[in-house]
Structure 1
Amino acid sequence: MADSSILIIYNARLVDSNIDSPGTLIIGDGKIRGVFLGECKTAKTAIMYASAFLAETPADTKPEFYDAKGMTVMPGFIDMHVHFRYPGQTQKEDLDSGLHAAIAGGYTSVVLMPNTSPVISDSDSAKKVMDEANDKNLARVFQTVSITKNFEGNDTSGLNNLQGKEFPVITEDGHDVLSAAVMLEAMKKAGEKGIIVSCHCEDPSLAQAAKPYRQRALSFMKQYGIPAGKIHIETPNVPAAVNFEIDGNLTRANSLLALAEDTATIRNIEIAKTAGCHVHICHCSTKASMDAVRRAKEEIALGNTSEGFDCTVEVTPHHLGLVGTDAPNIRALVNPPLRSEDDRRAIIEALRDGTVDTIATDHAPHTQDDKAAGAPGFSGIETAFAVCNTVLVKKEGFTLKQVSRLMSENAAKMLRLKAGRLAVDYNADLVLVNPDEEWIVNSENFASKGKSTPLEGKKLCGKVHATFFAGKQVF
């Protein structure tokens, strides 16, 4: 669709954080130009809704019509935490595969992590990735810059030339900054520039202590042909003692990694208070860490914190949907690990009471060889909506309006985007879903190069049928 053309989406159910109604959207110049609530099942009726807007357009303008066939139109999803592995790790993912995976999942804006090769540690490198990605005109891309140069943990000079408007997020994702003093220095710079510090909260020494237990488990898995990448594959001939060794070692590793997350979450929040910056807690997975975030938010609400301090938090679809204390999910290696049912319930209640700001995928594609060697993470951007809809809406009584706030609106606010709402003059970044359609996850159908998912073969409810970016259908 040309920029000057008009698109009318009709016969739709419109859902955002404020709306859940049959309706029609008028799209022009990449923006939402009209929102009309009420039944509209034909193009003839739709043109009546659009007549006032069309009267102000050139006489030869002929609108295009899109029949949503009763399905649900929502604001495009916005992901605060994505790995596209570009540059340098294109065997895992690249901009093309990553962007096509994003739009297949209904995502129209993504925030890319800097743990690439080389590490994205300065504005020029980040700008190059963003320009290349945005030239593809499939989705909006924000490339984060590392907190310290090359993740070496001591040099924050790469932050000096950043401006919050262009580079709203910095992060050391993949691990945490070891030195509290260096983190304080970085957070002070970020606070002055209005930049969000997105924290992978994990005490490095405790993470190192957990590593031998994971390696021991992986050695048994390799010896007995137990795949780390596709955990659904059954291996019935493994001796019980071996299964005990695998799961016992992973349990010990995960216990240390829970402590690593909890201590680092508290530390990073306290440093951000002193620095007066906006700290964003990545992939929060434990009850204790979520409680720390809740306390920080309560202090902010009471006005008992330093000027400039803010605290937001994301959770992932896999942490809200899966329990990792027993096989097979305990063998789905991811950082932070899949947690206990108590932790999962705490996350869901934090979503319910408004403590959680956004759901982010932590989409982390790997090759099967890398997974077998213990690489943590898996592909999740193409299954995220279905997991959230299945767990939150179908099982936990959430509304699609609440899901839209968590997957679109709140992240848009953090990134200062006029997106995430079905409202006039907002970006026409949209996703068309059928929230009642069931489907079976088959990673071979993923657009992502990463085919590892603990959801392989699982039935989910909620299917993405189309994605529009700036008014143009891209999926």
Structure 2
Amino acid sequence: MTILIKNGRILNPSENLDKIMDIYVEDGVIKEKAENITREADRVIDAKNCYVMPGLIDLHVHFRDPGLTYKEDIETGSRAAAKGGFTTVCCMPNTKPVIDSAETVKYVIDKSKKVGLTNVLPVGAVTKNMAGTEITDVDELKEAGICAISEDGKSVMNSGVYRKAMKAAAKAGVPVMAHCEDINLVEGGVINLGNKSAELGVKGISNAVEDVITIRDIMLAKETGAPLHLCHCSTKDSVEMVRRAKEEGIKVTAEVCPHHFSMCSDDITANDGNFKMNPPLRAREDMEALVKGLGNDIMDVISTDHAPHSAEEKAKDLEHAPFGIVGLETSVALTITNLVKKGYITPLQMAAKMSYNPAKVLGIEKGTLNEGAVADITIINPDEEYLVDVNDFESKGKNTPFDGYKVSGRVEYTILGGKIVYEH
């Protein structure tokens, strides 16, 4: 199939390109990128007034498959990804069973290929059964097809075990994706420690819970040479630690989630499980530091930490609901509404943080609209305004505090390997 995309604003960070151009796709590959292409095509898309970006890449999703498929499965997760503009996603290993064996890696890859709506790259567990005691066989998992290792959902609290895993990851050339949380400091906290936790009469989670492990993991990355990627950073000090680590030449990258740059603890309106996520919505000064960190490119990546739960689970109060928020279908709109439209980042930076940089973290040949590249392409109308409606979500998870939130920016087309997998 041939596709001709006309008149779009091409945002291609690998060439530092931001220009109105056309793109011609043939046999799943970008064959030509130029002004006013006049070739015939099976499908012509008028992308006037739209952003045309490399297919979006989400380094951090939970598809709950195998074992917890009442919350999400690879098919519904892939549909949500395609609708959200994502052509590649990395799914975390805290499934049942845990993604700690070649068999489970193969299951995820085979099932996602069958669905065929997005590239699903499994992330392997750091330790067997995520028990924190014995490291997995990183070489075997890499051979099976993992893109990284992570213990996401918790930290490996034994620093000696973690260092051993980091050494194995460095040797295998696999990134380590770190969830930074000192479990001994949580003490039953459910939202950020501050005025709001006091007002609602619930236990709070201090910034130190994240910051203590962030600095530990950076120091271990420095010692072992492992490429470290810090997941869902939420505090002002994590931004400062990343800045200093990069200045020192330590191999560290960091992501921020849309909920952490779009809301702060002041925005929690009720004792409602939809406001419960880990790490929590932080103080306004933390949110502002994250926004600044994205703007000045200290923070490299925007990821969703898409974490679906059933309606029954999330209907509980803050103390009893599970942590987690869905994000695949709101990420583009929240980024445009709260960062691009407000001038904190440029559209080209958005394309870098949602596609080009994630591809670099993984070391994969994606995230570019160069001629000869695989045609993973996302087309977005940045000016369309609407209200977020969870009833329209493809995801099984409807758990978000952004329901009814007014946003700008809608995904019009998602093209995976030259095939249109989503069209608004």
TM-score by length of 1: 0.83
Deviation at 1:135, TM superposition (A): 2.6
1:424-453 residue CA offsets vs partner (Å, 9 max, x unmatched): 012211111110111101101100000111
Deviation at 1:389, TM superposition (A): 0.5
* Aligned counterparts of 2:81 and 2:337: Cα–Cα separation in 1: 19
Summarize the Cα distance change of 1:456–1:22 in structure 2 as closer, same or farther, 3 Å threshold: same
- Which runs of structure 2 are paired with 1:219-368 in the superposition (5 Å)? 247-249=200-202, 252-255=203-206, 258-300=207-249, 310-325=251-266, 327-328=268-269, 331=272, 332-368=275-311
Q: State the one-letter code of the partner of 2:381.
A: N
The corresponding residue for 2:29 is 31
Q: State the one-letter code of the partner of 1:466.
A: Y
1:94 aligns with 2:73: yes
Q: State the one-letter code of the partner of 1:313.
A: A
* Aligned counterparts of 1:364 and 1:63: Cα–Cα separation in 2: 38
SS at match of 2:205: helix
464-473 vs 119-128, greater mean Cα deviation: 119-128
Q: State the one-letter code of the partner of 1:360.
A: S
- Percentage identity across paired residues of the two chains: 40
Q: State the one-letter code of the partner of 2:200.
A: D
1:26-85 residue CA offsets vs partner (Å, 9 max, x unmatched): 111211111013xx4xxxxx32xx4xxx8xxxxxxx643223344322111100000111
* Aligned counterparts of 1:402 and 1:412: Cα–Cα separation in 2: 14
- Consecutive unaligned residues in structure 1, runs of 5 or more: 41-45, 55-61, 215-242, 301-308
1:428 aligns with 2:375: yes
Out of 6, 11, 24, which is 1:10 matched to? 6
- Which runs of structure 2 are paired with 1:450-461 in the superposition (5 Å)? 450-461=397-408
* Aligned counterparts of 1:321 and 1:99: Cα–Cα separation in 2: 24
21-30 vs 186-195, greater mean Cα deviation: 21-30
CA contact (8 A) 1:364 1:380 kept: yes
CA contact (8 A) 1:432 1:464 kept: yes
* Aligned counterparts of 1:312 and 1:13: Cα–Cα separation in 2: 28
The corresponding residue for 2:420 is 473
The corresponding residue for 1:183 is 162
Summarize the Cα distance change of 1:164–1:192 in structure 2 as closer, same or farther, 3 Å threshold: farther
- Consecutive unaligned residues in structure 2, runs of 5 or more: none
Number of residues paired by the alignment?
A: 410
* Aligned counterparts of 1:427 and 1:263: Cα–Cα separation in 2: 41
SS at match of 1:468: strand
1:263-306 residue CA offsets vs partner (Å, 9 max, x unmatched): 01011111121111111110000011121111111100xxxxxx
- Which runs of structure 2 are paired with 1:71-86 in the superposition (5 Å)? 71-86=50-65
Summarize the Cα distance change of 1:169–1:30 in structure 2 as closer, same or farther, 3 Å threshold: same
Deviation at 1:204, TM superposition (A): 1.4
1:149 aligns with 2:119: no
- RMSD of equivalent CA atoms: 1.9
Deviation at 1:122, TM superposition (A): 1.6
Out of 118, 127, 151, which is 2:106 matched to? 127
CA contact (8 A) 1:290 1:350 kept: yes
Summarize the Cα distance change of 1:471–1:289 in structure 2 as closer, same or farther, 3 Å threshold: same
Structure 1 residue ranges (4+ consecutive) displaced by more than 3 angstroms after TM superposition: 243-246
Q: State the one-letter code of the partner of 1:142.
A: L
CA contact (8 A) 1:78 1:109 kept: yes
Q: State the one-letter code of the partner of 1:277.
A: A
TM-score by length of 2: 0.92
CA contact (8 A) 2:232 2:257 kept: yes
Summarize the Cα distance change of 1:343–1:245 in structure 2 as closer, same or farther, 3 Å threshold: closer
CA contact (8 A) 2:106 2:144 kept: no
CA contact (8 A) 2:100 2:141 kept: no
